[in-house]
Structures are given as C-alpha cells and as structure tokens.
Amino acid sequence: MNTVKSFQTKNSSVSRITTKELVLTGMFAAVLAVISQLSIPMPTGVPITIQIFGVALIGTVLGWRLGFLSTLIYILLGAVGLPVFSNFRGGIQFLLDLTGGYKWGWLIMVLLCGIRPKTGSKLLNTILIFLLPILGTLLDEAIGGLQWAALSGDMSVSAVFSYSIVAFVPKDIILTVIAVTTGIPIRKALSQQ
C-alpha cells in the first residue's frame, strides 16, 4: 500500500500544473493573440508579423512544457473560430492555408525555445539558449515554407525558400534573439515569486 501511495505521489507531482502555471499559460496564449494582430499584409498572401517573437518569448519564459501548452491553446482557440490569428482571423481553414504551416511549426519552435540546458558549462549553456531557438525559427520557416509551396501552386519550393530567406528569416532570427534576451529576466523574476 505504501508503494502505491508513493508511486501516486511521485506521478502526480510530475504531471500536476499549479494554479500559477495555469494562469501564466493562459496569459501567454493571450499575449500571442495580441501580438498576432500586428501584421503587414503582403501580396504573396503571407503577412509580415512578429508572432515569432511571441512564440520565442513564450518558450523562453514558460519552458518547453508550459510553452507548448500555451502555444497549443492559442492554435486551438484559432482553430475553433476565435479571431486570434493575424488580422483577426479564426477557423480551421487558417491552419490549412498558405500560412498554416508556420503555425504548426511554432509547436516545434516553442519546444526548442523552452529547453533550459544544463551542460555544466555556463558558456555552452548560453550558446545553446540562443542556438536552440534559432534552430526552432529555421525549422518553423521550413515547415511553413513547405506548406506554402505545396498550396500556392505558382511557386516552387526553391522559390518559396529563396523569398523566405530574404523576406522573413533575417527578421525572424533577430526577433527570436530579442525574445530570448527579453524572456530570460522575465523567467527569473517569475521563478522568484
């Protein structure tokens, strides 16, 4: 009986989300919804946004588990029709259109942004804290670009990637670095409360 009790205690402490974590998860999903409205429509159908900043910030502040949950909540809210996607759009069709792949890619990106390396080397940890989110950004661009190329019909994969490298990747890497730099002190402040 003690074995079962201790197993349940260990198991529940690993999977339990505190009220504070739940509130933060919801708040950051709302932050992403607000940030998503800051966009510049482009003739290609893929707007220029700072959503990538929001995703990187969420992962950096909340960590991979809560960051993933927060980003997933945002995506699901948009999928059921709430106007949380860029330009106050919502609905499952916006996960299946030209820009949908970028939203799916955020789930991988937020996981990479949320990893808190503990290698034993402060320098290596610092490098990884920035390198993993940049890798997440590049993976997001790849996933988004593949869906965009597949659905556009008038652009090849190489044309989409060439356009993305010029129009999105430099901006998104800069936004990711700024988000990580901004998120680290926020994470530290929240952990002290």
Interatomic CA distance for residues 28 and 59, integer angstroms = 10
Greater model confidence, 2 or 35: 35
**pLDDT > 80? residue 9:** no
Q: Is 131 helix (H, G, I), strand (E, B) or coil?
A: helix
Q: Pick from 145, 136, 180: which is nearest to 165 by CA?
A: 145
What is the domain partition of the chain in residue ranges? 20-41+48-191
pLDDT tens digits along 56-102: 999 999 999 999 999 999 999 999 999 999 889 999 999 999 889 99
- Position 5 scores a pLDDT of 44
pLDDT tens digits along 24-45: 999 999 999 999 998 777 676 6
pLDDT tens digits along 125-179: 999 999 999 999 999 999 998 998 888 887 788 888 888 888 789 989 999 999 9
Q: Are strands 48-49 and 39-40 parallel, antiparallel or unpaired?
A: antiparallel
Angle in degrees, 0-180, between the axes of helices 169-191 and 51-79, rounded to the nearest 10: 80
What class has domain 20-41+48-191? Answer: mainly alpha
Sort residue 155 into left (φ over 0), alpha (ψ -120 to 50) or beta: beta
